[in-house]
Structure 1
Amino acid sequence: MKKKLSMLAAGALMVAALGMFGCSSGDPATQPTDNNSSANSTAPDNSAAANNDDAAVGGEIVLVNDGKLTVAASLDFPPFENLNTDGEAEGFEVDLMKAICDEMGLECNYLPSTKFDTIVPLISAGGKADVGVSGFTVTPERAKEIDFTDVIMDINQGVAVMKDSGITSVDQLEGKKIGAQSGTTGYEWALENVEGAEVLAFDEMTGVFAALQSGQVDAVAADLPVVQYYVLNAYQDAEVIAEVPTGEQYAIVVSKDNPALTKALNEAIAKLKADGTYDQLTQKWFGA
């Protein structure tokens, strides 16, 4: 049976992923260049200047609720966002969004958990949330619908199987069933890179791992820190067999109609990286 998730320290497994977190230089406004991007997700230039010209970003910030930054997230994506035992959102991106809001003088308002593959359309449509998070990889396809902030983290993909499966490498997944969260780069990677695989989509990561444990799928493909977290804290009868160097980059999702908000978020992110807050949050959620 699946154990109940708790936000434990990620420990040694998470330390292995730390090399890809944070900026690639000492300049807090410089985007990281180390890792994460699925095979079909080469990151475009996502700075505020790339998304909007100087005149456009000079406008007024528009918020769904005055004085609040309303955030849409899939709250089953630990250690980035998850609901704790009190039903409150917590995780690296949750803390980061709260710090950004403090910097901007806004209250951070998380909506109830939102299905991952509906967040980009929701932000694009406007009216319900100002920003979206949940480990959004910057991709050209998504950038057609929404704007991205500056990069907040570098990520690779990870693959997990049950310990008794006999599967020890990605090559052995040919023709197998692979589970992934709907709308994610993990789903796209498996679909495009594993010959003959049947890739099954699930609404939530908890469903993906439940399917692995029940034998509905032979493997799981998802962002490496998330795979590591689930294996370490909830599915200890599973194991990570591969880190796939996809070179993806996370950013915050913002409406194209709100360029001033994107600019303000980028300024807050740069300040948090400069004053050490970003590093403190990385240390808290991923270890030294």
Structure 2
Amino acid sequence: MDIRSNFRKRGIATIASLGAAALVITSCGGDNGAVEAPEIDEDCEPLHEFPTLEEGVLEVAAMNAPPKFHALSDSGPFEGIDAILITEFAAENCLEVNFKPMTGAAAQLDLSEGNSDLFGGLILKTEERGEVFGQAEGYIIYETVGFTSHVDDSFESVDEMEGIRVGTLSGSTYVEPLREAFGADMVEEYQSDTNAFEDLRAGRIDAIGWQSMQGFNFSEQDEDYVTIIPDEDPDHPELTQLFENNWPHTKDVPELTEAIDDYYERAHEDGTIEEALAENDIDGELADFYLNGR
């Protein structure tokens, strides 16, 4: 499937076809309006009923990483894919949303300490998280690693990156696989994606390994940088395989898990997730990749 012509219309270049070779994207973001939460009527009848920390409120520790989720301050405005989806999920269950923007590591800790009902920001589903949190059977979108680097020093495979210094986000699923691939002393952890990209620009690291959508968001801001999705590589499965994004939530609350799974299924069927991607300037072949995988 050749996607070169489609992506070039949006400032995106490809090395070759998706699924057969690495995908290079230099632009995929844009300005999007804040999500307005609807008022909950007193006579609202929830589609599902499940316990929350505070009655009538869904507490969400949200990883602040556009376009997945973005907040200019703790009080908003709130933007991004999960701001759209979580707000709708809460509303259909007669709940107000209290978004708490923070880093991914802080959000995961917040949920694990029982201070939130849900961890938002399109979070990777993993076995390790499943031991601590509730996770849905279904998924929102697929995700995989993206490597962001200067356009003159881009990398099409993990093996090409041998000997370079790589940044990643603290608490990320990719920390240990990156250490195994490149050596612990060659991997720098960051608390925020902004700090990681600043160090990349300053030359203190050579590349960043993170969720591809985060990489695209930053390389879109600077034409001197590019994000590449490498091929699946059996020698580096955890760095090249597809993961599913979902919302980790309070463990052992089956009613909440069931409600989330029901929402995911309907949101795929009626095009809600596809529309949320489009509202964040992710469409065409790239949206198909996130929705359906390689």
TM-score by structure 1 length? 0.72
The residue that corresponds to 1:189 in the other structure is 177
Supply the distance in 2 between the matched residues of 1:265 and 1:71 (Cα, whole angstroms).
Answer: 14
The farther-off stretch of 155-164 and 198-207 is: 155-164
Supply the distance in 1 between the matched residues of 2:183 and 2:207 (Cα, whole angstroms).
Answer: 14
* Residue 94 of structure 2 corresponds to residue 105 of structure 1: yes
Alignment length, in residue pairs? 235
Shift of residue 129, structure 1, vs aligned partner:
1.1
The 3-state SS of whatever aligns with 2:102 is coil
Ranges in structure 1 where 5+ consecutive residues have no aligned partner: 1-9, 21-58
Supply the distance in 2 between the matched residues of 1:169 and 1:143 (Cα, whole angstroms).
Answer: 29
* Residue 239 of structure 2 corresponds to residue 283 of structure 1: no
Task: Indicate if the aligned counterparts of 1:69 and 1:106 stay in contact, CA closer than 8 A.
Answer: yes
Q: 1:197 to 1:130 in 2, by over 3 A?
A: same
Supply the distance in 1 between the matched residues of 2:266 and 2:13 (Cα, whole angstroms).
Answer: 26
The residue that corresponds to 1:157 in the other structure is 145
* Residue 239 of structure 2 corresponds to residue 243 of structure 1: no
- Residues 125-177 of structure 1 show CA distances to partners (whole Å, capped at 9, x for unaligned) of 31x21100223211111111111123111111111111344766533321221
Amino acid corresponding to residue 272 of structure 1 in structure 2:
A
Show the 5 A alignment for 1:268-279: 268-279=263-274
Task: Indicate if the aligned counterparts of 2:147 and 2:155 stay in contact, CA closer than 8 A.
Answer: no
Cα RMSD, aligned residues only: 2.9
Share of identical aligned residues, percent? 23
Shift of residue 271, structure 1, vs aligned partner:
2.5
Greater RCO structure (CA 8 Å; 6+ sep): 1
The residue that corresponds to 2:125 in the other structure is 138
Shift of residue 60, structure 1, vs aligned partner:
6.3
Shift of residue 101, structure 1, vs aligned partner:
1.4
Task: Indicate if the aligned counterparts of 1:180 and 1:200 stay in contact, CA closer than 8 A.
Answer: yes
* Residue 54 of structure 2 corresponds to residue 65 of structure 1: yes
Supply the distance in 2 between the matched residues of 1:210 and 1:124 (Cα, whole angstroms).
Answer: 30
Supply the distance in 1 between the matched residues of 2:13 and 2:264 (Cα, whole angstroms).
Answer: 23
The residue that corresponds to 1:147 in the other structure is 134
Q: 1:123 to 1:172 in 2, by over 3 A?
A: same
1:220 to 197, 208, 225: 208
The 3-state SS of whatever aligns with 1:283 is helix
The residue that corresponds to 2:77 in the other structure is 88
Shift of residue 223, structure 1, vs aligned partner:
1.0
Shift of residue 281, structure 1, vs aligned partner:
1.4
Shift of residue 72, structure 1, vs aligned partner:
0.4
Q: 1:15 to 1:129 in 2, by over 3 A?
A: farther
TM-score by structure 2 length? 0.71
Show the 5 A alignment for 1:3-42: 11=10, 13=12
Ranges in structure 2 where 5+ consecutive residues have no aligned partner: 1-8, 20-47, 232-239, 285-294
Supply the distance in 2 between the matched residues of 1:191 and 1:135 (Cα, whole angstroms).
Answer: 24
Amino acid corresponding to residue 194 of structure 1 in structure 2:
F
The 3-state SS of whatever aligns with 2:242 is strand
Task: Indicate if the aligned counterparts of 2:139 and 2:264 stay in contact, CA closer than 8 A.
Answer: no
Shift of residue 88, structure 1, vs aligned partner:
1.5
